[in-house]
Amino acid sequence: MNTLIRAVRPWGQALSDVTLVAGEAGGKITAVEPHNPARVVPDGVTVVEGRGRLLLPSFSDVHVHLDSTRIGLPFREHTGGPGVWTMMMNDRLNWRNAEVPLQDRVNDTLGRMIARGTTRVRSYAQVDVDCKLERFDAIAAAKENFAGQASVDIIAFPQAGLLLEEGTVELMEEALKAGANVMGGIDPCTLDRDPVKHLDIVFGLAEKYQVPIDIHLHEPGELGVFSTDLVLERTKALGMQGKVTMSHAYQLGSVNEATTRRLIDAFAELDVSLASVAPSAAGQLPIPLLTEAGVRLGLGEDGQRDYWSPYGNTDMLDRTWQLAFTHGFRKDQLIEHCLAIATIGGASILDPGATRLKDTSHRPGVEVGGPAELLLVDGETVASTVMDRGKDRTVIHAGRVVADQLELV
């Protein structure tokens, strides 16, 4: 099935007509031509009216916790305390008692994400002795339910650590057998307090089931650098280049300039990617330096109005604004680059063979041969769209319209 998107501006450039072809293996862009108001549309071609809107790649949310969401539920007072373990226990105390069942919450949140322009998702699924595979099962069911509207990867995630509660490792392996396609880890030093054994398990299960790795790292300063160096050593020793992502890792740039440069070079050499949730923390690795070095960087919503935090609203355009704001970007090129990170940057984490961002001016994703994962949105320029977060949106997955005007089709 072919689709013609008429009168759109790819990345804010000249008015164009864009042709897509849909297919079981995913849709492709087959033509990008100057807009022709007199163009004759062949029979059988679906027409999407661009109306002069921007044409952008769709969003890739590479760090989201679908299983803890409270999107759509009544706003509640935040009851979490400081620290990962305390926050995790607060979640454990409350997650079963929400106003609607977990499956409904996960489905509703994923549907809202798609309607706002996210068609590529990597979600954590908490696995521990409390929930066992219940939270994984909810995300797996949502993945199947929305298979025609978005692609979803699932991280088997040991939010409570791997070593603190007997039976956790066995449950993690069950999740990988059941279809989780990423192995998760978290704070090897501060949570499990045994980084060698923690990483032995993470890398061992990833190797056994041939899946990539995503490591949550909240550890500060030099301790975070220490854990990161252990991850880098194992990545190199086991030949897992291109298969490891460091998530959060928001203080790796806080030690000194030499350490910052060394880590960026190591990430580039070993093809270790980074996933940010646009925190306000100081000491983050500089985005322009990461991009110039060739490090893959993506963006995610993290938890969404859940028992960890009242922030998050399913809209990656809002989170793109936050990324630009927290890094102090004012120049249009850098604001636009944040949108490229939220779209193509994340897509290259999900698929290391996909197009990668070359520099802060690179705007791929809407050219012939590219995947038909697209978003039409109103705005004068790309930067103004990030500032205004337009609502006139049409979302395309695998060459087909899956949402329009913030509603699923």
Residues 118 and 195 in one domain: yes
Residue 90 phi, psi (nearest 5): -65, -40
Q: Does one domain contain both 39 and 92?
A: no
Judge contact between 382 and 313, C-beta under 8 A.
no
- Report, in this order, helix, strand and coil percent for the chain, each rounded to 5: 35, 25, 40
The whole-angstrom separation of Cα 57 and Cα 370 is 9
pLDDT tens for each residue of 281-330: 999 999 999 999 999 999 999 999 999 999 999 999 999 999 999 999 99
Q: What is the DSSP string of 197-262?
A: HHHHHHHHHHHHHT--EEEEE---HHHHHHHHHHHHHHHHHTT-TTSEEEEE-TTTTSS-HHHHHH
pLDDT on residue 26: 84
Tokens 């392996």 sit on residue: 173
83 assigned to some structural domain: yes
Q: How far apart are the first and last CA of the chain?
A: 17
| Pick from 365, 358, 214: nearest CA to 293 | 358
Number of compact structural domains in the chain: 2
d(CA 188, CA 219): 9
Q: Is residue 210 part of a domain?
A: yes
Side-chain-facing half-sphere of 330: CA atoms under 13 Å: 0
Q: Compute CA distances 355 → 13, 20, 57, 296, whole Å.
A: 20, 18, 12, 10
Please indicate, yes or no, whether residues 159 and 22 belong to a single structural domain of this protein: no
**Below-70 pLDDT ranges, the chain:** 24-25
Residue 85 sits in a domain whose CATH number is: 3.20.20.140
What whole-number distance in Å separates Cα of residue 4 and Cα of residue 39?
A: 10
Token pair, residue 32, equals 């990008």
A 10 A CB-CB count for 132 gives 16
* Dist CA 151 CA 232 (whole Å): 28
Task: Give me the long-range contacts of 318-323 (CB less than 8 A, separation at least 24).
Answer: 318/389, 319/277, 319/278, 320/386, 321/386, 321/387, 321/389, 322/278, 323/276, 323/278, 323/299
Domain boundary pick from 308, 324, 350: 350
The answer to whether residues 31 and 69 belong to one domain is no
Residues 37 and 140 placed together within one structural domain of the fold = no
Predicted pLDDT at 24: 64
- Does residue 359 form part of some domain? no
145 touches 107 (CB < 8 A): yes
Residue at which a domain ends, from 301, 323, 350: 350
Domain of residue 11 covers: 2-57+364-408
> Rounded to the nearest 5°, which phi and psi values hold at 8?
-125, 165
| Pair (207, 116) in one structural domain | yes
pLDDT of amino acid 23: 76
Same domain, 169 and 200: yes
Around Cβ 233, how many Cβ atoms within 10 Å?
A: 13
Pairing of strands 46-49, 28-34: unpaired
Residues 329 and 384 in one domain: no
Q: How far, in Å, CA of 399 to CA of 22, rounded?
A: 4
In 95-188, which residue ranges form alpha helices assigned H by DSSP? Answer: 102-115, 134-145, 168-178
**356 inside domain:** no
- The reply to whether 149 and 261 lie within a common domain is yes
Per-residue exposure over 309-325, b if at least 16 CB sit within 10 Å of its own CB, e if not: beebebbbbbbbbbbbb
Overall size of the chain counted in residues: 409
Q: For position 402, which CATH number holds? A: 2.30.40.10
Strands 54-57 and 374-377: antiparallel
